[in-house]
Amino acid sequence: MILHEYEARNLFLRYGIKVEDACLADSPDKAKECCRNVPAPYIVKAQVRVWSRGKLGLIKTADTPREVYRVAKDMLSKKFKGRNIDKILISHRVKTKRELYLSILLDRDSRSYTIMAGTLGGVDIEDIAKSYPESILQINVNPLIGLNPYVARYLSSHLKVDKESIWNLVGNMYRLFIDNYCELVEVNPLVLSGNELIAVDRKIVIDDSAARIYSHLRGFWEQYLEELTKEERLSIIHGFSYVELEGNIGIVGNGAGLTMTSMDLIYLEGGRPGAFLDLGGGANAERVRIALEILMKNPRIEIIFVNILGGITRCDEVARGIVSLVSKYRKPIVVRLAGLRENEGRKILENAGIKVFSQLQEAIREVVYYGSTGG
């Protein structure tokens, strides 16, 4: 779960990490009022759960309260991925000597935590790694041992900053990381202003499962759920991987790779995917019924494409789940079945008057045709 930046800032403050003056606003008037407590010049940042906001036009500069009001009015009138932007952060634009990069992340491949430090901040870390690999230092930290003082020496030497300052900073970030079951804690840029290191843009990703379980993280989880659509909340409850898109075709598959392939092929044929739903492996008829009902009740979805490769998932179970809904809803369903108990599944669907495809490309053309004609 990606935290909003203002949530990450509050956590940084709680762990004694220096941040810029800032104020959260939900209206242009409130944004202007924030300027009484936040010194000029300003940065206005939309609070959305996404990276690279600057490239998306969701971070703007302002020099006066009047400009803050104008930028806030424009930003709060916009939508991002179909949803209203309802919060913005008004931050002081810190005067900088240098911009650096610092993060701690969970590295599952090495079963360790990785500290990454860069001498070039304010740019996507992927771009830095490609263009200036020598600017990045990586240090693996054994979770059973934790931080050692040599980390401070390496960071101080690489970033050319005071050893005590960087040790305090990385130590506090590490405690934040561990205490809150984080997958990522990132500062980009980490600003050197005077002799102080200030975390002026923060990213935190918390493990979803931990956020559901632990009381000190529950507020973050409840806020996240409030922002979701009804369909997204139901998908989380039932353990589906579900992503809302902007089109009118609902796509259901058993496996993320298969479902994404279906989505890509629909795009290539000129269709407009409206939702991605991965059943996972071994779905029974009831699980299929629940998944399809989520899409059936979504008013934006006009047609549903079900693409199943039977293995752990049985085609006849999928067929029973589909048939249980056909009399209740009028939205057309295009089905492609292949694999375990395919013939049995095909008979169940054909007896219910549902056409079944074996060839994926034929099924894709059918669903795109229905999607373009409104069924």
What are the structural domains, with CATH classification, of the chain?
A: 21-92 (3.30.1490.20), 98-211 (3.30.470.20), 229-373 (3.40.50.261)
How many whole angstroms from its chain centre is CA 74? 24
Q: What is the pLDDT of residue 80?
A: 85
Q: What is the pLDDT of residue 330?
A: 84
Query: Which residues of the chain fall below pLDDT 50?
Result: none
Separation of alpha carbons 87 and 45, rounded Å: 9
Q: What is the pLDDT of residue 375?
A: 56
Q: What is the pLDDT of residue 157?
A: 96
Q: What is the pLDDT of residue 110?
A: 86
Q: What is the pLDDT of residue 58?
A: 94
Query: Would you say 313 and 282 are in contact if contact means Cβ atoms under 8 Å apart?
Result: yes
Q: Which residues contact 255 (CB under 8 A, 6 or more apart)?
A: 278, 280, 281, 309
70 three-class SS: helix
Model pLDDT for residues 261-314, shown as the tens digit of each residue: 999 999 999 999 999 999 988 899 999 999 999 999 999 999 999 999 999 999
Q: What is the pLDDT of residue 131?
A: 86
DSSP letter for 293, please.
H
Q: What is the pLDDT of residue 369?
A: 92
Separation of alpha carbons 251 and 278, rounded Å: 8
DSSP letter for 302, please.
-
Model pLDDT for residues 153-187, shown as the tens digit of each residue: 999 999 999 999 999 999 999 999 999 999 999 99
114-123 as b/e: b if 16+ CB within 10 A: ebbbbbbbbb
